[in-house]
Copies of this chain bind each other. A is one copy, B any other.
Amino acid sequence: MKKENSVQGILMPIGGAEDKIRSCHILQRFVELCGDNLAHIVVIPSASSIPYNTAAVYERVFHRLGAGFVSTLHIEGRHQANSAAYIQTLQEATGVFIGGGDQLRLMALMGGTRMADALNQRFHAGMHVAGTSAGASIMSRHMIAFGRSGAAPSQRMVQMASGLGLAPGLIIDQHFSQRNRLGRLLTAVALNPGLTGIGVDEDTALMIMPDGKMQVIGFGTVTVVDSHGLTYNGVYSAKRYDAFTVEGLEIHTLQAVDRVASAS
């Protein structure tokens, strides 16, 4: 994995449906990263169609896990994402948690705003960012907006849009094994050759370190689609939902190194 320019924050895409009740392995790790009782975690719940519920759930669990301070920035309209108050709150955060829902809804509210710029700058300066489901997808620069299930790629099975660009070289997908999304990730990489596809399973997270190293935590698999050796890419030759040929993509599947320990 290439090191991004001068990033100092840790990025933690979560594949959705992470444990919020029992050991809360993934969320606990995020609270630790952010400073435990010194943490200030900002929840962004606005991908959700029920953002106040989402905010309440995560505020409660982060408090229970020992975070010092938790606040919510819900974006009802783009004017809020350009407001000085929201930017100021981000300046004070040690971590941002982006909830699930519809990643395109959140980007429609946040794309090109001062808040998006500030989040990026703070991440580069060392603030950590976790996101689950839609909140994981949105970390990409070339983001999967939505798509169809299935194992084989077809040209229109995925719709791309702009994400926040925290991980400009990665296309991050979620609920990966559970929703049978290999086809859409292969299609996304074929539409964006040179980028790396990342499929994160439910209750699983990838920790992407400032030096570019990656570590899996949680109970599922992270699937990596590496386009480095791509030899043939027929994505342009297919129409609509026809399948196409793509040759030379490499696939790696990664398990949590601490799976046994964390299951105790």
Q: Which residue numbers of A lie inside 8 Å of B, CB to CB?
A: 77-79, 102, 104-105, 107-109, 111-113, 116, 142, 145, 155-156, 159-162, 190-195, 227-228, 230-237
Given the contacts A113-B194, A193-B108, A161 and B160 also touching, CB distance less than 8 Å: yes
Identify the closest chain B residue to A117 (Cβ).
B194
A231–B77 Cα gap in the complex (Å)?
A: 7
A198–B105 Cα gap in the complex (Å)?
A: 24
Question: Contacts of A233 on B, CB cut-off 8 Å?
Answer: 78, 108-109, 111
CB distance from A87 to the nearest CB of B (A): 16
Identify the closest chain B residue to A155 (Cβ).
B159
A111–B233 Cα gap in the complex (Å)?
A: 10
CB distance from A197 to the nearest CB of B (A): 12
A237–B145 Cα gap in the complex (Å)?
A: 12
Identify the closest chain B residue to A145 (Cβ).
B191
* 11 A–B pairs (Cβ distance < 8 Å), ordered by A: A104-B235, A108-B190, A111-B193, A111-B194, A112-B194, A112-B228, A113-B194, A142-B162, A155-B159, A161-B192, A162-B193
